[in-house]
Amino acid sequence: MTSEIDRIYLDNSATTAVDRKVINAMLPFFDVKYGNASSLHSFGKEATDALESSRRKVATAVGAMPKEVYFTAGGTESNNIALQGVMLKNKSRGNHIITSSIEHPAVLETCEFLETIGFEVTYLPVDKMGIVSLDDLDGAMTDKTVLVSIMHANNEVGTIQPIREIGALSHEHGALFHTDAVQSFGKIPIDVEYNNIDLLSISGHKVHGPKGIGALYVREGTPIQPIIYGGGHERGLRSSTENIPGIVGFGKACELISTHLDKDIISMTKLRDSLIKEILDSVPKTKLNGHPTKRLCNNVNISFEAVEGEALVLSLDRTGIAASTGSACSSKNFTASHVLLSMKIPDIMALGSLRFSLSRYNTQDEISYILDKIPPMVQRLRDMSSLWKEE
């Protein structure tokens, strides 16, 4: 079958196709409703109405109040505002932030910057499945801890953290809790109240919305300051003329999440599980990275012993399948990803990791096509590898 399959996109953790309904919602805001939300005339009013309507949709999708949602340029910016904005504002309370060793660079590099200006950062380790220990978190808390920032789900291996418990523990110690939910939003129901979250980062392009738009949820009353200054947009936290087409698209994508999520989770989980089981069954010396059950419904991350992840990605691309290396090797030094290293995955496996990330658009036919291609492809690469030892 599958001769009619042209290209298969299984790199949805990198970015997603924009939903047609999202595109249609955005279009008028490029050509007819192009006003600036700060303007007093009818064009401005149209933009303001769209801005506030989208804010309500984003708020609904995470269980927040609209006034707690701030639009940003994406997940990276949301993380930067959350970490820098909270730490700078609360200097008199303390200078300590706790995060994990497997965060996205948008958090890790921000923490490294904060260290250069005098803040102290604890990077918690994770276990073999990629989970942070609550005991470790408890032990790392000091009376100077202002903020705990632990991602909801990891972008490489899909492991889901116990964020509700992390939030509760942070609050017990008087610290605020931020979570980077860029990968989990649209894959796991999120309620900021239930999960004890004070700040939450999300991004449009990971959820069938446009690129260059995201949001930061900030619980009402949380002490935070801006990190860029200007015209006072987004109630002073994020100056710059609002990206209305992007915001409208993101709002529509959130509305679709609010209505579709349960169904999407069921369909993605089914495809994920069949992909994992069939690959592990049909290809020897393979291992699933990340937690078997506490994992994103759209994440498959498998290591193939003695295969280079990049070679596999390029071979797959030649057959029309878009995936990614789970290892994100640096082309210069071929070191494995910080996430897999933190999980103590041996190099020979870490360098051969492959990530498939699904979306609600993927089908069983596509999965069957991939399952046909993978075993001979892996064998071919192993036959060429000096590292491969067949038993």
Ligand X SMILES: Cc1ncc(COP(=O)(O)O)c(C=O)c1O
Binding mask 76-95 for ligand X (x = CB under 6 A): x-------------------
Closest distance between ligand X and the C-beta of residue 175, in Å? Answer: 21
Stretch that binds ligand X, among 58-66, 72-80, 357-365, 383-391 (CB under 6 A): 72-80
Contacts with ligand X: how many residues (CB under 6 A)?
13
Within 180-209, which residues bind ligand X (CB under 6 A)? 180, 182-183, 203, 205
Cβ(75)–Cβ(201) below 8 Å: yes
Cβ(217)–Cβ(28) below 8 Å: no
Closest distance between ligand X and the C-beta of residue 184, in Å? Answer: 8
Q: Does 326 bind ligand X (CB under 6 A)?
A: no
Stretch that binds ligand X, among 17-25, 178-186, 313-321, 331-339 (CB under 6 A): 178-186
Which residues are bridge partners to 78 per DSSP?
A: none
By residue count, the chain amounts to 391
H/E run at residue 197: none
Q: Please, which residues have CB within 8 angstroms of residue 20's CB and are 6 or more apart in sequence? A: none
Residue in 337, 241, 272, 324 with CA at minimum distance from that of residue 38: 241
C-alpha distance from residue 277 to each of 135, 286, 291, 302 (Å)? 33, 11, 14, 11
Q: Does 298 bind ligand X (CB under 6 A)?
A: no
Which residues are bridge partners to 177 per DSSP?
A: 148
Q: Which is nearer to ligand X, 35 or 209 (CB)?
A: 209
Amino acid residing at 74: G
DSSP state of 204: G
Closest distance between ligand X and the C-beta of residue 47, in Å? Answer: 22
CA gap 10, 358 in Å, rounded? 5
Q: Which is nearer to ligand X, 183 or 353 (CB)?
A: 183
Shortest Cβ contact with ligand X: which residue? Answer: 75
CA gap 106, 80 in Å, rounded? 7
Binding mask 106-135 for ligand X (x = CB under 6 A): x-----------------------------
297 as an active site residue: the answer is no
Within 138-157, which residues bind ligand X (CB under 6 A)? 151, 155
Q: Which is nearer to ligand X, 8 or 200 (CB)?
A: 200
CA gap 157, 365 in Å, rounded? 24
What residues make contact with ligand X under the rule CB under 6 A? 74-76, 104, 106, 151, 155, 180, 182-183, 203, 205, 214
Residues with catalytic function: 329
